[in-house]
């Protein structure tokens, strides 16, 4: 069996640590699969497993291709945003993706009171970059209760005209 991590848009293989779609090739006489796109998002790492295995490892499922949004060449999935929020006690947040001066621009809206904003921004930036591997360009603090469960975690406002 051959497992690849590829860019869902182009089908090109990605490098270690890059988030992409899991694609499987299985060559046998019973059930043949050739570059089957699973729809799952993951990344592979080269570090040796604590159990001693030396092969590449997949880090787990980060979300689904249809849910993810590509920002500056990296995918952000709602499941990643939920993980970030959980590190701060189920913080309510939303990622907004815009295109400014032909570049992707990432704004993160966070529900927080004025007393928490400075601390949150400092801590949040590192956690977000660790989990989503994308730098936040701007933070927008909003009143608690502004975001509902019906609001999308990722809003792509880019126009490709």
Structure confidence at residue 40 (pLDDT): 86
Q: How many CB atoms lie within 10 A of CB 2?
A: 11
Structure confidence by residue, pLDDT tens digits, 101-113: 889 999 999 998 8
Residues in contact with 61: Cβ distance below 8 Å, sequence separation at least 6, in sequence order: 22, 40, 41, 42, 79
Helix, strand, coil % in the chain, rounded to nearest 5: 15, 35, 45
CA dist 35 to 32, 39, 71, Å?
10, 12, 25
Element (H, E) at 79: helix 78-86
CA dist 157 to 20, 23, 48, 132, Å?
22, 29, 40, 19
Domains, the chain, in order of start with CATH, read 2-64 (2.30.38.10), 69-156 (3.30.300.30)
Question: Is 66 in contact with 52 (CB distance < 8 Å)?
Answer: no
- What residues in the chain have per-residue pLDDT under 50? none
Question: Is 91 in contact with 76 (CB distance < 8 Å)?
Answer: no
Q: What angle do CA 68, 137, 113 make, to 5 degrees?
A: 95
Structure confidence at residue 161 (pLDDT): 57
Structure confidence by residue, pLDDT tens digits, 16-50: 999 999 999 998 888 888 988 888 889 999 988 88
Q: How far apart are CA 109 and CA 38, in angstroms?
A: 31
Is the pTM above the cut of 0.75?
no
Structure confidence at residue 4 (pLDDT): 95
Structure tokens at 50: 């604590």
Structure confidence at residue 16 (pLDDT): 94
């Amino acid at each position: 069996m051959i497992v690849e991590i590829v860019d869902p848009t182009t089908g090109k293989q990605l490098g270690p640590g890059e988030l992409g779609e899991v694609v499987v090739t299985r060559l046998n006489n019973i059930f043949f699969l050739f570059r089957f796109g699973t729809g799952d998002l993951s990344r592979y790492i080269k570090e040796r497993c604590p159990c001693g295995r030396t092969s590449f490892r997949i880090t787990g499922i980060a979300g689904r291709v249809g849910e993810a949004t590509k920002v500056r060449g990296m995918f952000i999935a709602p499941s990643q945003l939920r993980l970030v929020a959980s590190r701060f006690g189920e913080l309510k947040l939303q990622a907004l993706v815009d295109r400014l001066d032909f570049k992707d621009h990432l704004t993160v809206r966070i529900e927080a009171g004025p007393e928490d904003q400075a601390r949150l921004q400092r801590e949040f930036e590192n956690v977000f970059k660790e989990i989503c591997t994308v730098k936040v360009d701007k933070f927008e603090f909003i009143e608690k209760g502004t975001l509902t469960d019906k609001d999308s975690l990722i809003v792509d406002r880019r126009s490709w005209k």
